[in-house]
A and B are shown apart, each in its own frame.
With several copies, the nearest count.
Chain A
Amino acid sequence: MDDSAELSPAQALRILEAALLTASEPLPVAALRQLFDDTLSAETVRRLLDELREAWAERPVELVQLAGGWRFRARTEMQPWLDRLKAERPARYSRAVLETLAIIAYRQPVTRGEIEEIRGVAVATPVIRTLEARGWVETVGFRDVPGKPSLLATTRRFLDDLGLRSLTELPTLTGLEQTLQLEHDPVEHDRADNEPANPYGPQEHTLSSARQ
Chain B
Amino acid sequence: MHTEVDTEPVEAGVADAGAAELPPLARLYGEPVTSLPRDLFIPPEALEVVLQAFEGPLDLLLYLIRKQNLDILDIPMADLTRQYIAYIDALQAGRLELAADYLLMAAMLIDIKSRMLLPQPPSASDEGPEDPRAELVRRLLEYEQMRAAATRIDALPQAGRDFEWVQAAFEASAPPPPGVSSAELMDAWRSILARARANTHHRISRETLSVREHMTRVLRLLREMGMRRFTELFDAADGVPHLVVTFLAILELVREGLARLTQTEALAPIYVTLPDGA
Contacts and interface: CB of A to CB of B under 8 A. Distances in A.
A and B touch in the complex (CB under 8 A): yes
Contact of B244 (A98, A101, A199, A206): A199
B43 interface: no
B17 A108 contact: no
> Which range contains the number of B residues in contact with the other chain?
35 or more
Interface string A133-170: 01000001111110010010110000011111011111
Nearest to B97: A122
Interface string A57-92: 000010000000001111110110011001010111
B55 A95 contact: yes
Tell which of A73, A120, A189, A210 has the most Cβ of chain B within 10 Å.
A120
Contact of B57 (A121, A200, A211): A121
B38 interface: no
Interface string A28-57: 000000000000000000000000000000
A79 B171 CA distance: 8
A60 to B, nearest CB: 10
Interface in A170-203: 170-174, 176, 179-193, 195-200, 202
Given A95-B188, A118-B142, A120-B59, A88 B175 contact: yes
A112 interface: no
A91 B175 contact: yes
B22 to A, nearest CB: 9
Contact of B146 (A103, A166, A180): A103
Interface string B87-110: 000000000000001000100000
A88 B179 CA distance: 14
Nearest to B53: A95
Interface string B208-238: 1111110110011011000000000000000
Contacts of A103: 146, 189, 192
A200 to B, nearest CB: 5
A134 B94 CA distance: 34
Contacts of B220: 140, 153
Contacts of B242: 199
Nearest to B156: A162
B160 A176 contact: no
Interface of A: 18, 20-24, 61, 71-76, 78-79, 82-83, 86, 88, 90-96, 98-99, 101-103, 105-109, 118-122, 134, 140-145, 148, 151, 153-154, 160-164, 166-174, 176, 179-193, 195-200, 202, 205-212
Given A183-B137, A184-B131, 9 more contacts: A22-B164, A92-B154, A121-B55, A141-B278, A153-B220, A183-B73, A183-B204, A192-B208, A200-B241
**Which 7 A-B pairs rank lowest in CB-CB distance, beginning with the nearest?**
A199-B241, A210-B196, A121-B56, A95-B18, A22-B170, A72-B166, A144-B275
